[in-house]
Amino acid sequence: MIPGITASSVIATPSAADADYASVVANLYFDGPNAGTSFTDQVRPWLWTRNGTPTISTAESRFGGASGLFNGTNQYLSTTAHADFNLSGDFTIECDVYLLSLAAVRGIWYLGNVTTNPIDRISLDIKTDGSAAFFAENGSGTTLFSCEAPAGTFTINNWFNVACVRSGNNLFIFKNGIVVATGTATGTPVTNNVFQIGIARNGGLQRFMAGYIDNFRLTKVARYTSNYTPASAAFPETTGAVLDDSWNPLGAGPGLVFSNGDHTIVRPQFGNDSPDNGALSKRARRSGKVYAEATMNRDGGLWSGYFGFMAADTVIANISTENYTNGLQLAPSRGGSNTMRIVREGVGAEVNGAYGSGVVVGCAIDIDAGKAWIRANDDWVTSALGKTTTFNPADPTVTWSPAGRNWRWYAMSPFFGTEVTLNVGATAFARTPPPGFGPW
């Protein structure tokens, strides 16, 4: 173990690609261990807060082996208000639902302040007779639309996919890809409000979901305007073969060049002309077993580049190794130094070996357990900083206490001319990930 460093989730397999991925503002897989309490958004760093005690359950699942369980009494998820929840234009809100009871009205999702009178909101709820209402009104209480599916449309004890779409002034409710209701919008609904899952408000009362929700997605485009085939796997996290949204340019320092679908970082300068800097991945995760690889592409200076895993709830500009204290840093050096530096929470050590240009550095991380296994080409680095060709789940390279934070991959080019490519699963990995570990 590195001196001074102390201290199974189910992963949904995403479907292939999504041409509208850039417009996705929320995507929850509801994956994790049974009775888990972390609800991770695959797209944005939203902190989904548990109200009551909703949990992850492996009793029922549409995809990935788990789903979110809500008790129908006082449990739901909420996140803070944000401009991304401005739904004044086209949008699609969809998820998989398994109702356990229709003894009361069941809220599926709600945009607005669910604790006050039901104005300035958009919502979907399912009534006791199996009908459903996709409804919106403004801050004055004026109804903007009410699109209603007939009685008997939705029933208990089975999975169904439900999608609500606004396309211009046209409204749709889909069940399993089939149109079950249409309507017309007459105004502009809620903007920049709080979003909740597993609750709605109807008749002056809060209406709680009783059952399971899986594979939730909010997209600010009208995905469907006629019958379609629902997804047969978890909603994708990529626009195609290249993960072209992997780096957040708002987190990048000056002097960096992005290429290869934004997942290669190049610092063309040579010399001590400015501080180290890099960029964070757009997506954050709070649980799961993930794997990534970085290739160091040239020996331009003291280091070939850095990559790692950072706890960051917000975008950080000009990421620097000088103040890096909240994660794991891997820094293979140029070939002449024959070392790889591993730093965790600011404490580091070096592993001997030819870890210069061209080396593929892999990192398998169990976020929930706070463990990371590090490899260089075919060698796994042991806790004693030795090397072995066999992955040992009982001997992680480093460990730490999970802090329930948002974690992101990052890549960095130091002030010397360097280049590093980080692959988080957009293309095939050069080495096989350990069993149970998957792409970001």
pLDDT of residue 148: 97
pTM above 0.75, yes or no: no
Percent of the chain with pLDDT over 90: 37
pLDDT of residue 12: 41
Q: Which residues of 153-191 are buried (b: 16+ CB within 10 A; e: fewer)?
A: bbeeeebbbbbbbbbeebbbbbbeeebbbebebeeebbe
Instruction: Select the more confidently predicted residue: 63 or 354.
Output: 63
User: 21-219 maps to which CATH number?
Assistant: 2.60.120.200
The residues that bridge with 257 in the sheet, in sequence order, are 266
The arithmetic mean of pLDDT across residues 43-60, rounded, is 87
Strands of 6-137 (E only): list them. 24-28, 49-51, 55-57, 67-71, 76-79, 91-99, 106-111, 121-126, 132-137
Each residue's pLDDT tens digit, 24-50: 889 999 988 899 998 888 776 567 899
- Beta carbons of 307 and 323 less than 8 angstroms apart: no
Token pair for residue 27?
Answer: 């995507």
| Residue matched to tokens 């003894």 | 103
3-class DSSP state for residue 249?
helix
Which class is 249-423 in CATH?
Answer: mainly beta
Highest mean pLDDT among 20-34, 47-61, 323-337: 47-61
Domain ranges of the chain: 21-219, 249-423
pLDDT of residue 289: 84
Evaluate whether 21-219 and 249-423 have a shared fold.
yes
Highest mean pLDDT among 25-34, 271-280, 353-362: 25-34
Instruction: Select the more confidently predicted residue: 202 or 111.
Output: 111
pLDDT of residue 405: 60
Indicate left, alpha or beta for 353 from its phi (over 0: left) and psi (-120 to 50: alpha). Answer: left
Amino acid at 248: N
| Phi, psi values for residue 375, rounded to 5° | -130, 155
- Beta carbons of 60 and 175 less than 8 angstroms apart: no
